[in-house]
Amino acid sequence: MVEVTGLSKTFGKDTEVLKDINLKIKKNEVVAILGPSGTGKSTLLRCLNYLCEPTTGTVRVGNVTVDAAHHTRQEVRNLRRQSAMVFQGYNLFKNKTAKENVMEALVTVQKKPKAEAEQIALKLLEKVGMLERKDFYPAKMSGGQQQRVGIARALAVNPDVLLFDEPTSALDPELVGEVLNTIKQLAEEDTTMILVTHEIRFARNVATRIIFMDGGQIVVDGTPEEVIDHPENPRLRQFLNFVTK
Amino acid sequence: MKFNWEYFFQTLPYVASKLNITLSLTIISAIFSLIIGMVFALISYYKVVGLSQLLKVWVSFIRGTPVATQLFFFYYGLANLSSWILNMSPTVAVAVIMSLNMGAFVSETIRGSLISVDEGQREAAMSLGMSGWQMTSRIVIPQAIRVALPPLFNDLINLFKMSSLAFLVGVRDVMGAAKIEGANTFQFFECYACVMLIYWVITLILTAFQKVLEKRCDSIYA
Ligand SMILES: Nc1ncnc2c1ncn2[C@@H]1O[C@H](COP(=O)(O)OP(=O)(O)OP(=O)(O)O)[C@@H](O)[C@H]1O
Ligand SMILES: [Mg+2]
With both helix axes pointing from N to C terminus, report the angle between B19-45 and B90-115 in degrees, rounded to the nearest 10.
Answer: 40
Contacts of B139 in chain A (CB under 8 A): 93, 95-96
Considering the domain boundaries, does residue B190 fall inside one? no
Chain A residues whose C-beta is within 8 A of a chain B C-beta are: 49, 51, 77-78, 80-81, 83-85, 87, 89-96, 104-105, 108-109, 137, 139-140, 153, 157
The domain spans of chain A are 2-82+160-243, 91-158
Domain ranges, residue B36: 15-162
Residue B156: CATH number of its domain:
1.10.3720.10
Looking at the complex, report in whole angstroms how far the Cα of residue A57 sits from the nearest Cα belonging to chain B: 20
pLDDT above 90 for A243? no
Considering the domain boundaries, does residue B123 fall inside one? yes
Considering the domain boundaries, does residue B169 fall inside one? no
End-to-end CA distance of chain B: 58
- The closest of B182, B211, B155, B153 to B7, measured between CA atoms, is B182
Q: Please give the pLDDT value at position A245.
A: 63
Ligand 1 atom 28, closest CA: A38
Considering the domain boundaries, does residue B33 fall inside one? yes
**The domain over range A2-82+160-243 is classified in CATH as 3.40.50.300:** yes
Structure confidence by residue, pLDDT tens digits, A11-32? 988 889 999 999 999 999 999 9
Out of A51, A90, A96, closest to residue B126 by CB: A51
Q: What is the mean pLDDT of each run of 10 residues along chain B (222 residues)?
A: 88 92 96 96 91 93 95 92 89 96 95 94 95 94 93 94 93 92 90 94 94 90 86
* A135 band by pLDDT with thresholds 50, 70 and 90: very high
pLDDT above 70 for A190? yes
Considering the domain boundaries, does residue B60 fall inside one? yes
Structural domain count, chain B: 1
Nearest-by-CA chain B residue for A95: B221
Ligand 1 atom 29, closest CA: A38
Looking at the complex, report in whole angstroms how far the Cα of residue B33 sits from the nearest Cα belonging to chain A: 27
Structure confidence by residue, pLDDT tens digits, A137-187? 999 999 999 999 999 999 999 999 999 999 999 999 889 999 999 999 999
Contacts of B129 in chain A (CB under 8 A): 77-78, 80-81, 105, 109, 157
Q: Look at residue A30 and give its three-state secondary structure.
A: strand
Q: Please give the pLDDT value at position B14.
A: 92
Considering the domain boundaries, does residue B64 fall inside one? yes
* A244 band by pLDDT with thresholds 50, 70 and 90: confident
Pairing status of strand A30-34 against strand A209-214: parallel
pLDDT above 80 for A3? yes
**CA–CA gap between residue B122 and residue B139 (Å, rounded):** 8
Cβ of B200: how many Cβ atoms within 10 Å?
A: 10
Cβ of A174: how many Cβ atoms within 10 Å?
A: 9
pLDDT above 70 for A224? yes
Structure confidence by residue, pLDDT tens digits, A33-54? 999 999 999 999 999 999 999 9
**CA–CA gap between residue B22 and residue B178 (Å, rounded):** 13
**Structural contact between residues B211 and B199, judged by C-beta atoms closer than 8 angstroms:** no
Considering the domain boundaries, does residue B156 fall inside one? yes
Paired with A58 in beta bridges are A5, A67
A28's torsion region: left (phi>0), alpha (psi -120 to 50) or beta? Answer: left
**What is the pTM (predicted TM-score) of this model?**
0.86
